[in-house]
Structure 1
Amino acid sequence: MTSGKPVPADAAFVQSELGKVLAGVRADGSASHRAIAAYLIRNPVRGTALKIEEMAEGCQVSTATISRFARDIGFANYGAMRSALAETLHSAMQPVEKLRSTIRRGKAALSAADSSMDYARANLGATQEALSQRDLDVMAARIARARSVYVLGLGGSSCLAAMMTLHLQPFCQQVVEVAGAGGTEAAARRMAQIGREDVLVVFSFPRYAADGTRLARYARSRKAAVVAITDTADAPVVALADHVLYASAAHGVLASSAVAAVALIEALTASLMVSNKANVRKAARLTEALTEYTVRLEG
């Protein structure tokens, strides 16, 4: 963080050392460990107050799994992890408390725009910290060899699906943007021919669209590979996905932030583009095709 301005407490927690460890587990851990890490990232304050039995109930795992999780991330036991969580939160809250004091004194206030920018920076940092180049390469290879790539995003995620479709089209055999005119019924029609040689890339961010999960389940039933891009291991689509990329999406006002998801789209596309020398020729053809329709600035 380079702005020198206070960061929202939850975003500051994500940027902390413990927050980065949890983000890494959320991305690459076992199913039970991903659930615990996601719970703590979403509820760090609550996590400092819960007994181990209450934590286990909240995460829907056993107390033994909670204890093992604490040891696996470097703590002697659950109590030590909870103490570290409290200490980290205290540090994360300091900038917020300073801001509140400043506001009470009437000297200054952090604008909504500045706060939004701070969330964006924190989300990008947390996403990059948890990102695995190996995961990107595996997904890029799977998308590149697909017969057809179906891209799905409903509601607030529809713009992300449109962007992904635009980026993939020059480098894939066929790309179908599933959402569009006609709503969910038309989306289901567009996916009618999906099969085992195809890939569905589904975006799912708060507020999670129930129809997106249903369509992902249909793709799964047809033996297509499902790549999910979402914000947390608790997102409904994760259980249906063969591959998952996580983009932190915290925001103080909006339902979710799309900044890190856009960065992931670009990272995945870049990995796909450099994975095959043939893509150089495809990029050249694209540039040639677009030259007539673009404005050239005089140097």
Structure 2
Amino acid sequence: MAEATPTVAEALRGQFDQFTRAERQLADALLAHYPVAGLSSITALAETAQVSTPTVVRLVKKLGFSGYPQFQARLRAELAETISSPVAKHERWAGTAPEAHILNRFADAAIDNLHRTLSRFDTESFDAVAELLADTNRQIAMVGGRITRSLADYLFTHMQVIRDGLSLVPSTSSTWPHYLLSMRPGDVLVVFDIRRYETELIRFVEMARAREVTIVLFTDQWGSPAVKHAQYVFPCRIEVPSAWDSTMVMLFVVEALIAAVQTQRWETTRDRFNELEGLFDEARLFKKFT
């Protein structure tokens, strides 16, 4: 499968260390309000980032664009992708689908998503988040959207074996203020949000951040608007030949994160595992064959 073109956000993050100080300042401004910041005039963008217009031109060319109009055209195309309905996504894939069986096409796309995500993955952020989740002085909350709440549930269920001090925030937004009430500075909120980004979820993240909660965001390659409130962001590729997006890569990262936290807290986790097994036996939850 041919390598797909990275999003502008991926290119900005991937080349960030190669930029000048002014270009990094501009990149930060673009990522903080992505992709909307790049859809304004070149003068307005330069003023927002407090850099010169030549700096904007240089950065755009470093990203591989011939000029600002081509750069904006890419951003507009990306914006259209983030608001695509399931029907639109299906029609796009169906129009270019090869003859191979859907299992093979889906597997190729999913594996490509994994490779491309890991090729740009920030392992330092991963290690830092594992440290945060292992720190029992911090309360940890997890929340997801209409589809991604299953990932929040999965992370919560596994983390319950490893440590106390966890909460799974339900999808009913009317209950969210109750959860915010218990959040303290330094606590952690793990959020899952992919296109078409959910406005109530973004507002919840904003309110949690106002309470000095550390935000860990799992999102797609374009990036949820919640990015601007997050201290740690894990962009994962999600496109597959389907009307729905794939969360396989996110699940992979979540499972790796669970393994990392478990390793850090293995002595305690082992004791909790043993106690939990006793409770399973007492409740006769699983069938015994002996």
Query: Could you state the TM-score of these two structures normalised by the residue count of structure 1?
Result: 0.67
Q: CA deviation at 1:114?
A: 3.0
Number of positions where the alignment pairs a residue of Structure 1 with one of Structure 2: 247
Q: Aligned residue for 1:26?
A: 13
How far apart, in 1, do the equivalents of 2:245 and 2:163 lie?
Answer: 29
Q: Aligned residue for 2:105?
A: 115
How far apart, in 2, do the equivalents of 1:297 and 1:31 lie?
Answer: 63
- Listed as ranges, the gaps of 5+ residues in structure 2 are 17-23, 47-52, 71-94
Structure 1 residue 124 corresponds to structure 2 residue 114: yes
Q: Aligned residue for 1:199?
A: 188
- Aligned runs of 1:162-177 on 2, under 5 Å? 162-177=153-168
How far apart, in 2, do the equivalents of 1:54 and 1:238 lie?
Answer: 18
Distance 1:157 1:260, change over 3 A: same
Q: Aligned residue for 1:95?
A: none
How far apart, in 2, do the equivalents of 1:141 and 1:149 lie?
Answer: 12
How far apart, in 2, do the equivalents of 1:228 and 1:121 lie?
Answer: 22
Query: Could you state the TM-score of these two structures normalised by the residue count of structure 2?
Result: 0.69
Q: Give, as a single letter, the amino acid of the residue that structure 2 aligns with 1:131.
A: F
Structure 1 residue 152 corresponds to structure 2 residue 143: yes
How far apart, in 2, do the equivalents of 1:228 and 1:175 lie?
Answer: 17
How far apart, in 1, do the equivalents of 2:248 and 2:108 lie?
Answer: 11
Contact in 2 for aligned 1:33/1:69 (Cα 8 Å):
no
Contact in 1 for aligned 2:161/2:269 (Cα 8 Å):
no
Percent identity of paired positions between Structure 1 and Structure 2: 19
Q: Aligned residue for 2:88?
A: none
Q: CA deviation at 1:153?
A: 0.3
Q: Name the Cα RMSD after superposition.
A: 4.1
How far apart, in 1, do the equivalents of 2:220 and 2:239 lie?
Answer: 9
How far apart, in 1, do the equivalents of 2:25 and 2:219 lie?
Answer: 15
- Listed as ranges, the gaps of 5+ residues in structure 1 are 1-6, 43-52, 83-99
Q: Give, as a single letter, the amino acid of the residue that structure 2 aligns with 1:110.
A: A
Q: Aligned residue for 2:213?
A: 224
Distance 1:193 1:289, change over 3 A: same
Q: CA deviation at 1:282?
A: 4.1
Deviations 1:246-275 (A, max 9, x none): 111122323421010101101111121222
Between stretches 287-296 and 265-274, larger displacement belongs to: 287-296
Q: Select the residue among 247, 260, 285 that pairs with 1:271.
A: 260
Structure 1 residue 285 corresponds to structure 2 residue 265: no
